[in-house]
Structure 1
Amino acid sequence: MSLLELVDIDLAFGRNRVVRKLSLCLEEGEIGCLLGPSGCGKTTVLRCIAGFEPVAAGEIRLDGQVVSGHGKHLPPERRRIGMVFQDYALFPHLSVAENIGFGLRGLNATQKRERVAELLRIVGLADQGNKYPHEMSGGQQQRVALARALAPRPHLLLLDEPFSNLDVELRERLSHEVRDIIKATRTTAILVTHDQNEAFAVADEIGIMNEGRIQQWDTPYNLYHRPANRFVADFIGQGVFLPGHVVNDEQVEVELGRLNSAIPAECGIGCSECARNCPVEVLLRPDDIVHDDASDLKAEVVHKAFRGADILYTLRLASGARVLSLVPSHHNHAIGEKIGIRLDVDHVVTFHENSDDAAHAQQDQRLTQPVQ
């Protein structure tokens, strides 16, 4: 049984429908994430789960119990949910240890002291309990906030943009630390963020949200390589769409070559709506375009972004179309230079022209026949 279930929940503020028939399931011990652009409704969903907002339709179940929906609304303090906020919300007049122990109820002084000491050790602040929040760095304050939320052993932990106030380097390091802490305590959690790097670092499964709906709930790997629709393909990672056409049931051809794939029936031979050679658009990621000096296929460097170990090249093809290629940085080419490239595509992802749905994102096959 799932620890958390959202079933077709709706929420509107006046005429503004913020959440639309949204459903998700989260198993015990898993870390989920709601990822999407600002205004997509992800924080509102978190507030509904926490009990701060009543749902207009649908229901929310926590550990099998309906906590919202069908005329029932369990108040936040009875849901056993911990929250970590964007601004940490630590009490400045309390020490670190007092902050962590603030929400503990029903324990005697010894039990409370032992639980606080345990959390301080888990978050790597064992010798910092007597300090005050203003004496600690942003990353340390975030770990204190996490420890405070975990102290009462909640059913579910909610994290609302927890790293947004930190610099990039600290954000990346702390996101890995937070995942390790949540996993070590066997806590079920949901993170809300607009930063896909944070989502990938922390979550087991991610829901891509847009306009109040989850577009795809999946693993980070599948979101990148097997996007369900064009919005997910555009939002996750980087990539470009090249026009192509269906050659047969198993091949799609683009300017750079012929891709082997299992094209679905609506795009292949025997389709009632489109014949062979029906036009599609093919998603190509920077790691699909490989720099190869020995290749006869050339592309012109029109832009380059140095990233330390890699350079992200924007390349212009003979047709004028542009693609991206991620190349080890010792291959340092000048703007205007033509370099050899080849395709190395594991996942063929195509979209019908005038359609948002992915036609195919399942096969793990390589490009075998370049266009001559």
Structure 2
Amino acid sequence: MTSEFRLDISQARPFALEVALDCVAGELLAIVGPSGCGKSTLLRMIAGLQHAASGEISLNGMTWFSGKTALSPRQRSIGYVPQHYGLFPHMTALDNVRAALHTLPRQEQINRAGEWLEKVQLASLARRKPSELSGGQQQRVALARALAAQPSILLLDEPFSALDSITREGLYLTLAELKPQLGIPMILVTHNLAEASLLADRLAVMDNGRILQHGTPAEVLQFPRNRRVAEFMGVRNILTGRVLSSASGQAVIALGEQTLSLPRALPLGSVQRWCLPQTALALQPSQQADSTLRGTVHNLIRLGDEWLVTVALPGTEDMLALQYPATEPLAIQQPVGIRLQSRHIHILED
């Protein structure tokens, strides 16, 4: 039977939460959102360190939490990797991993702890204490300890946030290599969108104690549900316009003094908020006859070999952001044209 984790909880105090999630074996679900949105609180509830006011948490049909049940963290068999490692400073790396295996005979503890240190590429440092290890090495020990006892689920609470980029990338590879072998649900809490997109099979975007959207990283990035999700996913081009006409599956929407045709029907007269990726835009250094839109360069920021160009549009405060080769000359207030692929326009919910 496929291992499946399910959660459906709610509470009003002390922190408002209303969350429904699921995660199957071998899948990594990333819960992403700004600091203070409730991510870590949710993870602590899954671990049994806190309890919601109401709802249910279960794994493989076994109830961990409900109105009548509240299993302890040990009863839930959780593998937990906290943000700041949580290692015992007086113990060696080997003994820190052994601490998760206290129910086994001593020699079996040593053997299994050694095997897991080898899997996370730390076998040669087994006798070192945490103070003698780098941050990345300490995090590998914490990961080995979390997995050594063969947990039913792995919880990762901002596990890479305190590490430099090179060390983080090494740990990403380690986790990616281990994931197919584990065969358990895995839940990662992070505010780092790039990290979540790289590691996760599915994303759940969280804000103010609620899940705003969930899906694959590509789905959430390409089709954000609303403005809040779009902003969190780093979508720069979020615009607003009124529908001027709509017939035969085509709509014309106002964009300041200009109009756009969209290949879809929309309610006549409605105000629509929409977004589109930078890849759907191409800048023309002059306003040409085939330009979809016209505007002026509002700002230029050089990023490596490209300009990040912000284009002001007449009759609206909305602007478009796109990239353009830095080898081509551009100037502030320069009139430009934009070719726009309207099929990539995505309408946002209110």
TM-score norm. by structure 1 comes to 0.82
Match of 1:370 in 2: none
- 8 Å Cα contact 2:285/2:335 also seen in 1: no
Matched to 2:76, the amino acid is: R
Q: C-alpha distance in 1, partners of 2:28/2:329?
A: 40
The answer to whether the aligner puts 1:4 opposite 2:5 as a matched pair is: yes
CA RMSD of superposed structures (Å): 2.5
Q: C-alpha distance in 2, partners of 1:236/1:346?
A: 20
- 8 Å Cα contact 1:56/1:69 also seen in 2: no
- Of 190, 209, 212, the residue aligned with 1:212 is 209
Matched to 1:107, the amino acid is: L
CA shift for structure 1 position 40: 1.4
Q: C-alpha distance in 2, partners of 1:141/1:334?
A: 50
The answer to whether the aligner puts 1:288 opposite 2:280 as a matched pair is: yes
Q: C-alpha distance in 1, partners of 2:54/2:342?
A: 43
- 8 Å Cα contact 1:257/1:343 also seen in 2: no
Q: Counterpart of 1:72 in 2: which secondary structure?
A: coil
Matched to 2:10, the amino acid is: D
- Of 260, 264, 278, the residue aligned with 1:258 is 260
The answer to whether the aligner puts 1:116 opposite 2:117 as a matched pair is: no
Matched to 2:226, the amino acid is: N
- 8 Å Cα contact 2:64/2:70 also seen in 1: yes
Match of 1:306 in 2: 302
Q: C-alpha distance in 1, partners of 2:7/2:117?
A: 33
Q: Residue by residue, what CA displacement relative to the aligned partner does 1:230-252 show, whole Å, maximum 9, x if unpaired?
A: 22122212223223344433344
Relative to structure 1, is the Cα distance of residues 192 and 279 closer, same or farther in structure 2, using a 3 angstrom cutoff?
Answer: same
Q: C-alpha distance in 2, partners of 1:2/1:303?
A: 51
Q: Is there any run of 5+ residues in structure 2 with no aligned partner, and where?
A: none
Match of 1:369 in 2: none
CA shift for structure 1 position 214: 0.7
Match of 2:31 in 1: 34
- Of 201, 205, 209, the residue aligned with 2:198 is 201
Matched to 1:120, the amino acid is: L
Match of 1:19 in 2: 17
Q: Is there any run of 5+ residues in structure 1 with no aligned partner, and where?
A: 269-275, 357-372
Relative to structure 1, is the Cα distance of residues 111 and 221 closer, same or farther in structure 2, using a 3 angstrom cutoff?
Answer: same
CA shift for structure 1 position 77: 0.9
The answer to whether the aligner puts 1:67 opposite 2:68 as a matched pair is: no
- 8 Å Cα contact 1:226/1:347 also seen in 2: no
Q: Percent identity?
A: 35
- 8 Å Cα contact 2:43/2:155 also seen in 1: yes
Q: Residue by residue, what CA displacement relative to the aligned partner does 1:74-118 show, whole Å, maximum 9, x if unpaired?
A: 011110111111111111211112212221144334433332232
CA shift for structure 1 position 166: 1.9
Q: Residue by residue, what CA displacement relative to the aligned partner does 1:275-310 show, whole Å, maximum 9, x if unpaired?
A: x35332221333332234587235433323333354
The answer to whether the aligner puts 1:279 opposite 2:271 as a matched pair is: yes
The answer to whether the aligner puts 1:97 opposite 2:94 as a matched pair is: yes
Q: C-alpha distance in 1, partners of 2:177/2:325?
A: 30
CA shift for structure 1 position 51: 0.4
Q: C-alpha distance in 2, partners of 1:308/1:57?
A: 51
- 8 Å Cα contact 2:30/2:188 also seen in 1: yes
Q: What is the number of residues matched between the two proteins?
A: 339
Q: C-alpha distance in 2, partners of 1:170/1:329?
A: 31
- 8 Å Cα contact 1:259/1:348 also seen in 2: no
The answer to whether the aligner puts 1:185 opposite 2:214 as a matched pair is: no
- Of 156, 160, 173, the residue aligned with 2:157 is 160
Structure 1 stretch displaced more, 113-122 or 89-98: 113-122
More helix by share: 2
Match of 1:272 in 2: none
- 8 Å Cα contact 2:3/2:184 also seen in 1: no
Match of 2:220 in 1: 223
- 8 Å Cα contact 2:24/2:184 also seen in 1: no
Matched to 1:235, the amino acid is: F
Q: Residue by residue, what CA displacement relative to the aligned partner does 1:135-180 show, whole Å, maximum 9, x if unpaired?
A: 2221221111111111111110111111221234543553344333
Q: C-alpha distance in 1, partners of 2:337/2:63?
A: 59
Match of 1:319 in 2: 315
The answer to whether the aligner puts 1:143 opposite 2:145 as a matched pair is: no
Q: C-alpha distance in 2, partners of 1:252/1:158?
A: 48
